[in-house]
Amino acid sequence: MWAKMLRALLRLCLLLCMLPAVAEAVEVSATAAVLLDADTGQVLYEKNGDEQMLIASTTKIMTALVVLEQAGLDDTVTVTRDHMAEGSSMYLKPGETVRVEELLYGLLLCSGNDAALALTACAGGPMNEKAAALGMTRTSFANPNGLDAEGHYSTARDMAVLAPAAMEEPTFRRICSSRSVTIGQRTMENHNRLLRQG
């Protein structure tokens, strides 16, 4: 369902870009943006697409993709104090044992910085290698959660390459399209407003 919605949106954008009067009226408040057709890779709209910028929590798309390639959903991680992080959280507690699937929900629904750090315990390291394999030539990852760090940046064009690659992963799609989930005593809500529209 999510992939169909994305394709329909991209086709609509393509149609609008074919109409010169409408295409000239497109204005985006973002500093940088790239819109591409997920099926063909054709760039439909671009603004500062190759400018290297901080990428914040969009980092977690790559974290999830790498974890899904390297770990099983039923693998477990024992949370340590090193997994605690500033910012958004799924409120992990040191000493608790959590399944990878629950951590992925915490990563993608709650944008949990703690979940990102805990997930590196079972699948850490190869984010830059995966970026290179996808052709993300102007990207460098320094951490799994997106907190500002030297050597942590990407571009709108590279992120436009990453998003459809992640959407090809069925578990990633399932988790991202969940409005909420309750696992044990923990309920996590997805704050993506697109899931609540029409």
Q: In this predicted structure, what is the pLDDT of residue 198?
A: 57
Would you say 35 and 43 are in contact if contact means Cβ atoms under 8 Å apart?
yes
What average pLDDT score do residues 82-109 get? Answer: 96
d(CA 142, CA 125): 9
Express each pLDDT in 30-77 by its tens digit: 999 999 887 888 999 999 999 999 999 999 999 999 999 999 999 999
Express each pLDDT in 112-127 by its tens digit: 999 999 999 887 779 9
Q: In this predicted structure, what is the pLDDT of residue 3?
A: 52
Catalytic, 88? Answer no
Catalytic, 57? Answer yes
Question: DSSP letters of 43-63?
Answer: EEEEESTT--B--GGGHHHHH
Query: Which of 88, 111, 130, 154 is the catalytic position?
Result: 111
Question: Does residue 177 or residue 38 have the better pLDDT?
Answer: 177
pTM: 0.85
- Which of 12, 13, 196, 186 shows the shortest CA–CA distance to 103? 186
Q: What is the mean pLDDT of the chain?
A: 88
pLDDT band at residue 197 under the 50/70/90 scheme: confident
Express each pLDDT in 9-31 by its tens digit: 444 444 444 444 444 557 889 99
Q: In this predicted structure, what is the pLDDT of residue 38?
A: 79
Would you say 50 and 160 are in contact if contact means Cβ atoms under 8 Å apart?
no
d(CA 178, CA 29): 28
Query: Which of 4, 29, 57, 88 is the catalytic position?
Result: 57
Catalytic, 111? Answer yes
Query: Which of 4, 29, 47, 60 is the catalytic position?
Result: 60
